[in-house]
Amino acid sequence: MPQVQERIPGRIEDPLSTLPPSLNPPARILMGPGPSDVAPSVLRAMAKPTLGHLDPRFLEVMDQIRDMLQVVFGTRNELTMPMSGTGSAGMETMIVNLVEPGDRVLVGVNGVFGTRMADVARRAGAEVVEVKTEWGKTFTPEAFREAAAGQPCKLLCVVHAETSTGAHQAIPPLKEVAEELGALLCLDCVTSLGGVPVELDAWGVDAAYSGTQKCLSCPPGLAPVSFSARAADFMAKRRHPVQSWYLDLGMIRNYWGGERAYHHTAPINMLYALHEALRLALEEGLEARFLRHRRLSEALVAGLRAMGLSIRVPDEERLPQLTPVAIPEGINDAQGRRFMLEQFGLEIGGGLGPMAGNTWRIGLMGAACSRRNVHLCLSAVGAALGAQGYSIAGDPLQAAADALNG
Amino acid sequence: MPQVQERIPGRIEDPLSTLPPSLNPPARILMGPGPSDVAPSVLRAMAKPTLGHLDPRFLEVMDQIRDMLQVVFGTRNELTMPMSGTGSAGMETMIVNLVEPGDRVLVGVNGVFGTRMADVARRAGAEVVEVKTEWGKTFTPEAFREAAAGQPCKLLCVVHAETSTGAHQAIPPLKEVAEELGALLCLDCVTSLGGVPVELDAWGVDAAYSGTQKCLSCPPGLAPVSFSARAADFMAKRRHPVQSWYLDLGMIRNYWGGERAYHHTAPINMLYALHEALRLALEEGLEARFLRHRRLSEALVAGLRAMGLSIRVPDEERLPQLTPVAIPEGINDAQGRRFMLEQFGLEIGGGLGPMAGNTWRIGLMGAACSRRNVHLCLSAVGAALGAQGYSIAGDPLQAAADALNG
């Protein structure tokens, strides 16, 4: 066996002299675009003893996760499982397993995540047709029909809940155009899952991915995905290997499915967290959960409007779990957010792309979506604006209460 | 805002009637090829409150992780960070960032992970030259020189610690041949990091990846990687985009480096766990840690040999942290491992490839590498063999004690 090598003295600073202390992160309230607050029982589940990835007791946990994911996705798709990466790994999983070089792919681009999907699809060799609309707006079926220009497409990809803008895309109307084009209907459900209805089977969706750190209120690190039998059939007929080994569902399905063949070592403790987060979502009941998000979001918006602020997405396209609010003229974005973080321990998000510097994104996701947090956030936003000399006309807390009681 | 849709009654079973109970995983002793046992303080760190991925307090945690990773990798490489996936995502990160279509890549194949690396490189468009030797053996520099046949190569890839066989590749002798070929020297350190010396700078290694769930004793889910300035220069000169968006270091380095530009949401709580696992490794001291692995492995091997069992790797190429032991004739592999799991709560690993069914892989990794576990494992293996009628000649516990005292 090779000898233990002497380390070269002084080559790297003595680790002990610079060893950081053990972690002591502050307890923030997470009301940005994600990660969202994590319920205590989810944190506790994550800290339970690690099992081996082929332990029979762990295989039971996997089955339960799949069963619960099917319920939250509104599907009976057998090919439903969490991928071992964050939401963007879910996006890449969907694309690389379904796209072959030269495939024509329609992608709706109305924010950061549609833009990202187009990029991922190009890297997989797709001929991407970007269907564009203004950030903060959603798509009509006509927009896709026109962009396709009568040519068949392999995939029609769209973001269900644009985290960068707060826009809520209606999905059922897109099914018809996908069918006309012979395309698989593919969804980004990162911010929608667990916060608004997701009904893959009822809507005829063929492929979808999500993330754990939004309305499921689980720490970031996993990407639930689901594929219809039709999508699985497309995969089975591929002519080229999937370009990613790590995300190749042809192998991963054998670990999550019947054979339990080793592919990569599953992130055991993250999966414990997802198990508990799904349990909490189903214990609450999905309808009750959606209603909670909707009602509290109405209260938040009423409060923000009472401060004289305006929302950057039309009401009928607005996501309850993510509210993009225009920063008033003369108010500094970063300074305002820093004030809220330092004075209130409250995190909200800044804007991205054309919304950078002029928009705050306020999340009300999962465990963070509570009446307490609505009031806290309105107080903090008011104080932050006040600190920069903005004077608030109305009574935001009363407006929020009225919205809840109304 | 779209209305909450009615769920179709009876389409999916009533979730509440089938909701699984909260998790209660048994406390195993993990002495397989990984995941290994996780120290209690690492589990506690993981359960600390989730921070936002751009929170200033979290950015400090990232810096500390990078600093500690540099020490355990034996490098000052600026481009050192954990990727948001398991060890295999680290492998794919190394390959897709360094390989362009048509590049000639030498890969040492002497087990599962060399085989996997060749597969990943082919999917990235490389022309792969497999350098083969028997499973359980390691490579001479000559083997690579001959396989290259005088032609330059872009990468020379080899597995430092083959988890599938327990073979320990000597790295410094390979540097000269890599230089002759103009190749970047690229290492799989998944099972080596934290268990045996890894000295990227002293050895002239250009790229390396690891996993958290082996000798770092952190749950699976992250893949530390490190790239030399020369490798970073290769990346900067790429002619084609990196095929994976999720693993594209050109963007990820801006999040881990100075600009803190958002790429994907980092797996916050997994990073807490890695922070604490690295702290524990450095608090113990790397030399002390390597010595612990070596001494206890000698005790384990002495005990196994006292039972009449043989080790499937020659002593001079044997990894301390993973011992492949031949299963005696007539003993059923799966039955034996099930016995140890059920009767002792002890997990050891089975063999893979040509070692399937005839080899057990016993890990002594990180927190699991203790005298208590050496004795437990010898007792359990003895009992499992006894239950299948194998009679043990010597006194394995005494042999283990003698090895430690000798």
Cis bond leading into A35, ω under 30°? Answer: yes
Q: HEC string of B39-56?
A: CHHHHHHHCCCCCCCCCH
Angstroms from A30 CA to nearest CA on chain B: 7
pLDDT for position B257: 87
Q: For chain B, give every residue range classified as CATH 3.40.640.10.
A: 40-282
Residues A174 and A153: their CA atoms lie apart, in Å, by 14
Contact B270 A273 (CB under 8 A): no
pLDDT tens profile A161-216: 999 999 999 999 999 999 999 999 999 999 999 999 999 999 999 999 999 999 99
CATH number given to B40-282: 3.40.640.10
pLDDT tens profile B119-146: 999 999 999 999 999 999 999 999 999 9
The residue among B268, B186, B224 whose CA lies nearest residue B87 is B224
Angstroms from B4 CA to nearest CA on chain A: 6
Structure tokens of B100?
Answer: 């362009």
Contact B267 A220 (CB under 8 A): yes
Residues B29 and A50: their CA atoms lie apart, in Å, by 9
pLDDT for position A7: 44
Contact B49 A25 (CB under 8 A): yes
Indicate the average pLDDT of chain A: 95
pLDDT for position A10: 38
B window 367-396, beta carbon within 8 A of A: none
A161-162 and A207-209 beta bridge pairing = unpaired
Q: Identify which of B30, B123, B270 has the shortest CB distance to residue A244.
A: B123
Does residue B9 register a pLDDT over 50? no
Paired with A157 in beta bridges are: A107, A186
pLDDT tens profile B235-268: 999 999 999 999 999 999 999 987 899 999 999 9
Structure tokens of B89?
Answer: 């995502």
Taking the Cβ of residue B356 and every Cβ of chain A, the question of whether any pair is shorter than 8 Å is answered with no
Percent of chain B predicted with pLDDT > 90: 94
Select from 3.20.20.150, 3.90.1150.10, 1.20.120.420, 3.40.50.1820 the CATH code of B285-405: 3.90.1150.10
The sign of the torsion formed by the CA atoms of B327, B328, B330, B336 equals: negative
Residues B94 and B249: their CA atoms lie apart, in Å, by 9
Taking the Cβ of residue A161 and every Cβ of chain B, the question of whether any pair is shorter than 8 Å is answered with no
pLDDT tens profile B146-157: 999 999 999 999
Q: Which residues of A touch B46 (CB under 8 A)?
A: 46-47, 269
Averaged over A92-104, what is the pLDDT? 98
Taking the Cβ of residue A335 and every Cβ of chain B, the question of whether any pair is shorter than 8 Å is answered with no
Residue A130, SS3 per DSSP: strand
Structure tokens of B226?
Answer: 């490190």
Residues A249 and A96: their CA atoms lie apart, in Å, by 10
A window 176-215, beta carbon within 8 A of B: 196-197, 199, 201-202, 211, 213
pLDDT for position A245: 98
Averaged over B108-126, what is the pLDDT? 98
Contact B43 A89 (CB under 8 A): no
Residues B270 and B35: their CA atoms lie apart, in Å, by 14
Taking the Cβ of residue A24 and every Cβ of chain B, the question of whether any pair is shorter than 8 Å is answered with yes
B104-109 and B127-132 beta bridge pairing = parallel
Q: For chain A, give every residue range classified as CATH 3.90.1150.10.
A: 286-405
DSSP 8-state assignment for residue B30: E
pLDDT for position B12: 47
Does residue A1 register a pLDDT over 70? no
Contact B268 A320 (CB under 8 A): no
Q: Which residues contact B129 (CB under 8 A, 6 or more apart)?
A: B104, B105, B106, B107, B147, B148, B153
State the amino acid at position A265 in one-letter form: T
Averaged over B309-337, what is the pLDDT? 97
Question: A15 pLDDT band (50/70/90 cuts)?
Answer: low
Q: What is the dihedral of CA B304, B305, B311, B314, to 10 degrees?
A: 130
Does residue A303 register a pLDDT over 50? yes
Residues B69 and B275: their CA atoms lie apart, in Å, by 9
Paired with A162 in beta bridges are: A167
Cβ atoms of B183 and B154 within 8 Å: the answer is: yes
Does residue B292 register a pLDDT over 50? yes
B349-350 and B79-83 beta bridge pairing = unpaired
Taking the Cβ of residue B334 and every Cβ of chain A, the question of whether any pair is shorter than 8 Å is answered with no
Q: Which residues of B touch A7 (CB under 8 A)?
A: 74, 199, 286-287
Instruction: Give me the phi and psi of B71, to 5 degrees please.
Output: -65, -50
The residue among A164, A212, A215, A177 whose CA lies nearest residue A321 is A215
Contact A88 B26 (CB under 8 A): no
Q: Which residues of A touch B44 (CB under 8 A)?
A: 47
Cβ atoms of A193 and A224 within 8 Å: the answer is: yes
Residue B386, SS3 per DSSP: helix
Residues A153 and A215: their CA atoms lie apart, in Å, by 32
Averaged over A243-260, what is the pLDDT? 94
Structure tokens of B259?
Answer: 């600009």
Taking the Cβ of residue A353 and every Cβ of chain B, the question of whether any pair is shorter than 8 Å is answered with no
Residues B113 and B163: their CA atoms lie apart, in Å, by 8
Residue A113 CA, distance from chain mean position: 10
Q: Which residues of B touch A211 (CB under 8 A)?
A: 265
Question: A13 pLDDT band (50/70/90 cuts)?
Answer: low
- Counting Cα atoms < 13 Å in the Cβ hemisphere of B87 gives 30
Indicate the average pLDDT of chain B: 95
Q: For chain A, give every residue range classified as CATH 3.40.640.10.
A: 40-283
Contact B272 A2 (CB under 8 A): no
Cα angle, residue A382 at apex, residues A381 and A386 outer, rounded to 5° = 115
Cβ atoms of A138 and A109 within 8 Å: the answer is: no
The residue of chain B nearest to residue A190, with distances taken between CA atoms, is: B265
Taking the Cβ of residue A334 and every Cβ of chain B, the question of whether any pair is shorter than 8 Å is answered with no
Integer-rounded Cα radius of gyration of chain B: 23
The residue among B58, B15, B12 whose CA lies nearest residue B275 is B58
Does residue B4 register a pLDDT over 50? no
Q: How long, in residues, is chain B?
A: 406
Phi-psi category of B204—alpha, beta or left, where left has phi over 0 and alpha has psi -120 to 50?
left
Q: Which residues of B touch A89 (CB under 8 A)?
A: 84-85, 246, 264
Residues A380 and B177: their CA atoms lie apart, in Å, by 62
pLDDT tens profile B187-245: 999 999 999 999 999 999 999 999 999 999 999 999 999 999 999 999 999 999 999 99
Angstroms from A322 CA to nearest CA on chain B: 12
CATH number given to A40-283: 3.40.640.10
Taking the Cβ of residue B48 and every Cβ of chain A, the question of whether any pair is shorter than 8 Å is answered with yes
The residue of chain A nearest to residue B276, with distances taken between CA atoms, is: A22
pLDDT for position B2: 42
Taking the Cβ of residue B220 and every Cβ of chain A, the question of whether any pair is shorter than 8 Å is answered with yes
Angstroms from B33 CA to nearest CA on chain A: 9
Instruction: Give me the phi and psi of A179, to 5 degrees please.
Output: -65, -40
DSSP 8-state assignment for residue A317: G
Paired with A168 in beta bridges are: A161
Q: Which helix (H) or strand (E) holds A361?
A: strand A359-363
Please report which residue ranges of B82-228 form alpha helices under DSSP H: 87-98, 112-123, 141-148, 172-181, 200-203
CATH number given to A286-405: 3.90.1150.10
The residue of chain A nearest to residue B138, with distances taken between CA atoms, is: A1
Q: In what order do the strands lie in the sheet with B104-109?
A: B79-83, B223-227, B207-209, B184-188, B155-159, B104-109, B127-132
pLDDT for position A18: 80
State the amino acid at position B384 in one-letter form: A
Residues B387 and B322: their CA atoms lie apart, in Å, by 24
Angstroms from B135 CA to nearest CA on chain A: 17
Contact B283 A221 (CB under 8 A): no
Averaged over A249-270, what is the pLDDT? 94
Q: For chain B, give every residue range classified as CATH 3.90.1150.10.
A: 285-405
Q: Which residues of A touch B288 (CB under 8 A)?
A: none
The residue of chain B nearest to residue A287, with distances taken between CA atoms, is: B4
pLDDT for position A6: 42
* Test mutation, A209, A264, A365, chain B, max B CBs within 10 A: A264
pLDDT for position A257: 87
Residue A135 CA, distance from chain mean position: 18
pLDDT for position B258: 77
Question: B101 pLDDT band (50/70/90 cuts)?
Answer: very high
Averaged over A347-351, what is the pLDDT? 98
Cβ atoms of A53 and A68 within 8 Å: the answer is: no
Instruction: Provide DSSP, B133-153.
Output: --TT----HHHHHHHHTT---
State the CB neighbour count (10 A cutoff) for residue A137.
Answer: 18
State the amino acid at position B138 in one-letter form: T
A window 232-291, beta carbon within 8 A of B: 241-246, 262-270, 272-273, 275-276, 279, 282-283, 285-287, 290-291
Structure tokens of A201?
Answer: 């089977």
Question: A16 pLDDT band (50/70/90 cuts)?
Answer: low
Does residue A219 register a pLDDT over 70? yes
pTM of the predicted protein model: 0.96
Q: In what order do the strands lie in the sheet with A322-326?
A: A322-326, A359-363, A349-350
pLDDT tens profile B156-187: 999 999 999 999 999 999 999 999 999 999 99
State the amino acid at position A56 in one-letter form: P
In this prediction the ipTM stands at 0.96
State the CB neighbour count (10 A cutoff) for residue A212.
Answer: 35
The residue among B25, B86, B147 whose CA lies nearest residue A62 is B25
